[in-house]
Copies of this chain bind each other. A is one copy, B any other.
Amino acid sequence: MPDSTALNEQQLAEMVARQMYERDNNSHALGIAIDGIAPGYARLSMRVRKEMLNSHGMLHGGMSFTLADTAFAYACNSYNLNAVATGCDIIYPAAGREGDLLTAEAVERHLAGRTGIYDVTVTNQDGEVIALFRGRSRHLPGTVVPNP
């Protein structure tokens, strides 16, 4: 039976992710799946649908941003301390296409006091980088999951 701190942090991260996902209507609507979760880390995936395209017929920047931003949210809330984004930036090295299976991997670059910085890389099924996202988070009072 696991009782080490390391395992408990991982279990907590998983519990937080499950509870966040349950009330995450946005992710359900967009078909976003959680493929991996760890303290300070999240990996999500999303299939590009026709309604996610912009008027140029390419993936809408708001959609790749939303996928990256969601991965960021799961990563920065994984310690069960409420965290919100204070700002983000995104670069689009390549265009996403209809039918692409996108993966967003969020890793923690820095966490000190209430402030965190997370880098998210969005790639397609060929490993091509579709977006590079950097998010800045701030912890607010309260926990995501009560009395875990």
Spell out A's residues near B (CB within 8 Å): 19-20, 23-26, 29, 50-56, 58, 60-63, 65-66, 69-70, 73, 82, 84-95, 109-110, 112, 115, 117, 119, 129, 132, 134, 136, 144
Contact residues of A: prevailing secondary structure: mixed
- Report the bound CA distance from A88 to B61 in whole Å: 9
A60 shortest CB reach to chain B, Å = 5
Q: Which chain B residue shows the least CB distance to A70?
A: B62
Out of B24, B55, B91, name the residue touching A87 (CB < 8 Å): B91
Q: Which residue of B lies closest to A50 (CB)?
A: B25
Complex: A91 Cα to B112 Cα, angstroms: 13
Determine how many copies of this chain the complex contains. Answer: 4
Which residues of chain B are within 8 angstroms of A73 by Cβ–Cβ distance?
A: 54-55, 61
- Among A52, A55, A56, A90, find the residue whose CB has the most chain B CB atoms closer than 10 A: A55
A90 close to B87 (CB less than 8 A): yes
Q: Which of chain B's residues have a CB closer than 8 A to the CB of A60?
A: 26, 66, 69
User: Known interface pairs A26-B52, A29-B51, A132-B110. Does A92 touch B85 (Cβ–Cβ under 8 Å)?
Assistant: yes
Give the residues in chain B near A50, CB-CB below 8 Å: 25
